Amino acid sequence: MVDPFGREVTYLRVSVTDRCDFRCTYCMAENMTFLPKKDLLTLEELERLCAVFIDKGVRKIRLTGGEPLVRKNIMHFVRQVGRHVDAGRLDELTLTTNGSQLARFASELRDCGVRRINVSIDTLDPDKFRQITRWGDLDKVLEGVRAAQAAGLKIKINAVALKDFNDTELPEMLAWAHGEGMDMTVIETMPMGEIGEDRTDRYLPLSKLRADLENRFTLEDIPFNSGGPARYVTVRETGGKLGFITPMTHNFCESCNRVRLTCTGTLYMCLGQEDAADLRSALRASEGNELLSAAIDEAIGRKPKGHDFIIDRTTRQPAVSRHMSVTGG
């Protein structure tokens, strides 16, 4: 699959649910209205969609949510998709999680073919963790991280950089992650969906964060690529890798190889654009995959060059109306 700008699409992010057991303040409103269950694709339908994308050249699938591990029977789905890794048709099956369910599922994830996961942790202060997630329990998340390590999963910590919240704590988080053998990525907050607060109060350009980190650490740019949008450095003092995801200050669209599938069968060709394709209708119109394959081709032909995120005092509305939890980041 090649888009109009010559970029080969080899990476599919699948949001298996829009539901989450946290309510992170930069991601969603506290009183969310989630999709009715009748609107969701069955796990068998999601599996069929993944298989068609693999047939069309996708080599990496990342499962996201909401929180993917809260969906009922999710491990059956993970096991089915993981068989494509065993067969050599898929290079990697990965997962992004808030960690709340990891203690329960870590060993089974490994058994199903997952080798690498991202865990979202924005602070190591239990009170601040509860504040930013509204409902989260840091001890439970850290228990899940330890379980994942014991199961042999490679872990990367994802942290959203938030001004006047965790900016001064991020150096210590970096040292903790690297000390535990985990890489880390920091992410700029993105203007997606109404969240009940002013994002300009929390927006922290990663250019500023990097300058602050360089007061303590020696950061060396490296060409490492994990398949996603992060630009990586090595930290000389710790020996670990640190990634920067900068959709606001330096977007990563020129090398975008990703599309995003929601739990309703909607395909978003760009995280920061509203244009989407309805794959559910094509999926259910025929037992064969010809219509579905054609619908995917048509959608890839509309993939835009990039997004246009803005956060400032004059731009009050989110760039897109849907919450991050709908598209899976």
| Confidence (pLDDT) at 200 | 58
Tokens of 282: 């094509």
For the chain, what are the domain ranges?
11-327
SS3 of the chain: helix, strand, coil, percent, to 5: 35, 20, 45
Which residues are known binding-site members?
13, 20, 24, 26-27, 62, 66, 96, 120, 156, 190, 253, 256, 258-260, 270
Q: What are phi and psi of 13, to 5 degrees?
A: -105, 125
Which residues are known binding-site members for [4Fe-4S] cluster?
20, 24, 27, 253, 256, 270
| Confidence (pLDDT) at 214 | 96
Q: Which of 59, 79, 328, 312 is nearest to 198 (CA)?
A: 312
Q: Look-up: residue for tokens 């919240």?
A: 165
Which residues are known binding-site members for GTP?
13, 62, 96, 156, 258-260
Non-local CB neighbours of 270 within 8 Å, separated by 6+ positions: 253, 256, 303, 304, 306, 307
Which residues are known binding-site members for S-adenosyl-L-methionine?
26, 66, 120, 190
| Confidence (pLDDT) at 275 | 87
| Confidence (pLDDT) at 194 | 52
- Overall residue count recorded for the chain in this entry: 329
Non-local CB neighbours of 63 within 8 Å, separated by 6+ positions: 14, 16, 78, 81, 93, 94, 95, 96
- Can you tell me the distance from the alpha carbon of 15 to that of 11, in angstroms, rounded to the nearest whole number? 13
Q: Look-up: residue for tokens 């200050």?
A: 249
Q: What is the pLDDT of residues 147-172, one digit of tens each?
A: 999 999 999 999 999 999 999 999 99
Tokens of 14: 């699948």
Regions of the chain short of the pLDDT cut 50: 192-193, 195, 199, 309-316, 318-320, 322
Q: Class of the 11-327 domain?
A: alpha beta
